[in-house]
Amino acid sequence: MYLENKSNLEIEMSQTSAQGHQGRSSLRSPEAVAGNFGELRLLQGISERRETQKLQQSAVLPSGQCVIHSEGFVPVRQEDGHNFSVVNFLRGKTNSANLTERSPLLRFSQDDSITYMTLHDPSFVGEEEHWDNGSLDLEKRYRLGSEKTKTGISCIFLFFSMYPDRDNPWRMVAVSSTDSFSMNLTDFRDNALLKLQVGGPFTGGMIDLTNQEYVLIQVEQIEQAGQRRRRTQQVIHNWTIPLHSERSDQILVTKTFEMLSSDPIVITVQAFLQDNEVVPLSMTHQSLYVNVETQVAIAGIILAGVYVLIIFEIVHRTLAAMLGSLAALAALAVIGDRPSLVTVVEWIDYETLALLFGMMVLVAIFSDTGFFDYCAVKAYQLSRGRVWPMIIILCLIAAILSAFLDNVTTMMLFTPVTIRLCEVLNLDPRHVLIAEVIFTNIGGAATAVGDPPNVIIVSNQDLRKEGIDFASFTGYMFLGICLVLFTSFPFLRMLYWNKKLYNKESIEIVELKHEILVWRQTAQRINPASREETAVKCLLMQKVLNLESLLRKMMKTFQRQISQEDKNWEQNIQELQKKHRITDKVLLVKCVSVLGVVIFMFFVNSFVPSIHLDLGWIAILGALWLLVLADIQDFEIILHRVEWATLLFFAGLFVLMEALAQLQLIDYIGEQTALLIKAVPEDQRLAIAIILVMWVSALASSLIDNIPFTATMIPVLINLSQDADVNLPVKPLIFALAMGACLGGNGTLIGASANVVCAGIAEQHGYGFSFMEFFRLGFPMMIMTCMIGMCYLLATHIGLGWNM
């Protein structure tokens, strides 16, 4: 079985050069591209079997390889940009004039019982025209990063093989006001820490002994006199854990204690209750061999290493997150706290992954209707052909939607529309997408349901007792974010002042480059497991080579210029509307119906607590519903459009953040922040506390995940406000935490989930942007928005006294 053309047994790879310059639509229309690829078909018959037998008789062609043949047989160097393992090509020297753009892409000829693929003779360009040097440099960096990480991975594997999982069993105990529990620990080492984990019906916040029930855990060690000490020394640690009034939620709490020596340790658990009921608890302990400061230093080094891998693009960000999580787990193994595989899997936030997967499937089916192209034309018509009004409209709509929807959902809907719109206007989509995702993160901070840190804050029962509920939180944050939002547009225009939003080349060249990238990615995704798949891969790479040859010819005659705004936009609207229209109205109705129900359920889930469906379940059920309604026959096509690299990145990031939390990094940041606030004089303490919490939250959220950071900082700030020596109201601190955690996500590419999702979708469309490209625009915007937010906090809480 082999590839043939529908007509005359030839496959045409492109239009002639003369036809290619007649017009933009004839050269690069999507229909023409689809037609070229659609003309490939597999035939069966008598002639097919004869050709197959001849191919099988060729001993020089093992499975998975093909030979590309050209007249002349003059060997030349192989270009890095065209390097693929299944071919070694030769190019002719004298017969290039006989080959045209309409020469057959694939032709079979017989020569001594060997079948050859005819290769067109590409004309190589000089050193000054390396238009794809960026991709070549990227490939070299990936190879360099692969070599550099081999040694590190070997060391990590060595650590995992040397240190076993922690195997201390959980002990079930029951305590009451009259019955306590005690146990002795004798297997303890010198210079070690004792880590206790206790599970029970606990609550957060600082204990008030007058009206609340609690559990007291006392850790005691007595070091006898000897060579190290001249007299006996005793250390006692008291740990107070408040109990929940309903005794319903089982919460796991952890604390680490510094011990003196290897002498026995006595742990006593006592409950202080208002009646004689029994409180069930579960408890385990672990010996750690490294102190807290060293654990924090190790965590900081691992986090810095991950950022180095991502910033300099040594490896892909997904691989960087996986390597970072593996290094953090190895560090836990070294200090004696290696988690089991089951525990590591439990660290992954499957609700977020389910939300991402479900929305990716929905958007993949939605894109087949032509709706995104239609929206792009409508946005172009609404902006009257002007670029900056169009960008402002897109950013404003994205900010408004993200205030009520999840930021990830907003960007998954907006990114395809923005890419198609920029392709129509010959704009670089990267700059527009970065601006959109920045304003998405800003808009998400406006309400209690727009960003995960806000959801965590309004869900905290202790903060609700302090008056921070859905309405009060949304009212205060909405006013401040509106101020931040409208002052951000002029600053965004200043950042983009010297940015060339238009592509420097003509739209024909830009589309041809993008088409070459798509063809190459398609060929690389084919696994040549059979002879037919090998032939298809060779065919696609042949297509890439011929399109590159055409691109070189166009670059030689191209006069570099910068496109200007379209002055004749009214005349082009009709042409664009004819070209970009709804292609499947029935499927569009089904997609709009399902997506409308899913978005409506997102709203209902935020305001109606009686509906027991998380966002992940809603997205998954919506995706399954649409798959049934759309009657998808080839499910693998939909799976190919899912951003699996993005899903793996989030899984690795969740494990990395939890491992860093186990290394005390997040707790250390919270404790040091509290100590700095306590050291400030009382008359300036509130202002300094607002500034400090705001900027620590912003910088930390740009480097680590803001969800565990927010969850860690809430009890720290509650305890700080209830400390009589500090005397600070809790509302300003919580609002500063929310403002910093949400706006800080714009600082880096991995600072917010929406940033990573947008980068992944853009990369799938061939417009991926790097960490530094996002950092150059996102970090200044983060600094400016945090400055505006800080001024708003100081003006309302210090100037106006809105602290009650």
Average pLDDT estimate for 397-410: 86
Instruction: Give the model confidence (pLDDT) of 657-667 as tens digits.
Output: 999 989 989 88
Phi/psi region, residue 84 (left: phi>0; alpha: psi -120 to 50; beta: rest), is beta
Burial class for 526, CB neighbours closer than 10 Å (0-12, 13-18, 19+): middle
Average pLDDT estimate for 304-309: 91
> Which of the residue ranges 377-391, 405-419, 427-441, 554-568 has the most confident prediction, judged by mean pLDDT?
427-441
Judge whether residue 10 has pLDDT over 60. no
Q: What is the pLDDT of residue 371?
A: 83
Q: What is the pLDDT of residue 779?
A: 95
Confirm if 276 and 308 have CB atoms less than 8 A apart: no
Judge whether residue 434 has pLDDT over 90. yes
Q: How far is Cα 426 from Cα 411, in angstroms, rounded to an integer?
A: 21
Average pLDDT estimate for 282-296: 88
Instruction: Give the model confidence (pLDDT) of 17-64 as tens digits.
Output: 334 344 433 333 434 333 333 333 333 333 344 444 444 444 344 444
Judge whether residue 343 has pLDDT over 80. yes
Judge whether residue 104 has pLDDT over 50. no
Judge whether residue 640 has pLDDT over 90. no
Average pLDDT estimate for 431-436: 93
Q: Give Dmax (Cα) for the chain.
A: 101
Q: Between these two residues, 723 and 589, which has the higher pLDDT value?
A: 589
Q: Between these two residues, 400 and 160, which has the higher pLDDT value?
A: 400
What are the φ and ψ backbone dihedral angles of 174, each rounded to 5 degrees? -135, 125
Tokens 């990480």 locate to 149
Confidence of residue 287 (pLDDT cuts 50, 70, 90): confident
Q: How many CB atoms lie within 10 A of CB 450?
A: 30
Average pLDDT estimate for 220-228: 76
Judge whether residue 150 has pLDDT over 70. no
Sheet containing 108-111: which strands, arranged edge to edge?
68-69, 114-118, 108-111
Mean confidence (pLDDT) of the chain: 76
In this prediction the pTM is 0.72
Confirm if 582 and 591 have CB atoms less than 8 A apart: no
Q: What is the pLDDT of residue 137?
A: 53
Buried b (16+ CB within 10 A) or exposed e, 654-668: bbbbbbbbbbbbbbb
Q: What is the pLDDT of residue 426?
A: 77
Q: What is the pLDDT of residue 314?
A: 87
Instruction: Give the model confidence (pLDDT) of 59-102 as tens digits.
Output: 344 444 444 443 333 333 333 333 433 333 333 333 433 444 33
Average pLDDT estimate for 332-343: 88
Judge whether residue 699 has pLDDT over 90. yes
What are the φ and ψ backbone dihedral angles of 740, each rounded to 5 degrees? -70, -40
Judge whether residue 114 has pLDDT over 60. no
Confidence of residue 140 (pLDDT cuts 50, 70, 90): low
Instruction: Give the model confidence (pLDDT) of 742-763 as tens digits.
Output: 999 999 998 888 999 999 999 8
Q: How far is Cα 543 from Cα 35, in angstroms, rounded to an integer?
A: 13
Q: How many CB atoms lie within 10 A of CB 588?
A: 17
Average pLDDT estimate for 282-297: 88
Sign of CA dihedral 700, 702, 705, 707: positive
Q: What is the pLDDT of residue 503?
A: 63
Beta bridge partners of 117: 68, 108
CA-wise closest residue to 470 among 438, 478, 434: 478
Q: What is the pLDDT of residue 101?
A: 37
Q: What is the pLDDT of residue 569?
A: 61
Confidence of residue 344 (pLDDT cuts 50, 70, 90): very high
Q: How far is Cα 470 from Cα 4, in angstroms, rounded to an integer?
A: 65
Confirm if 237 and 218 have CB atoms less than 8 A apart: yes
Judge whether residue 224 has pLDDT over 80. no
Dig out the tokens for 789 from the structure: 């937010």
Complete DSSP assignment for 56-99: HH-TT--TT---EE-TT-B--PPPGGG--TT--B-B-SS-GGG-
Q: What is the pLDDT of residue 505?
A: 66
Beta bridge partners of 216: 240, 270
C-alpha of 130 from chain center: 31
Q: What is the pLDDT of residue 98?
A: 43
Q: What is the pLDDT of residue 504?
A: 65
Confirm if 402 and 444 have CB atoms less than 8 A apart: yes
Q: How far is Cα 210 from Cα 171, in angstroms, rounded to an integer?
A: 30
Instruction: Give the model confidence (pLDDT) of 770-803 as tens digits.
Output: 999 999 999 999 999 999 999 999 999 998 887 6
Q: What is the pLDDT of residue 164?
A: 74
Q: What is the pLDDT of residue 568?
A: 59
Residues in Cβ contact with 554 at an 8 Å cutoff, skipping those fewer than 6 apart: 20, 508, 509, 512
Judge whether residue 390 has pLDDT over 90. no
Which amino acid would we find at residue 631? D
Instruction: Give the model confidence (pLDDT) of 684-696 as tens digits.
Output: 889 999 999 999 9
Q: What percent of the chain has pLDDT over 90?
A: 25
Average pLDDT estimate for 410-437: 87
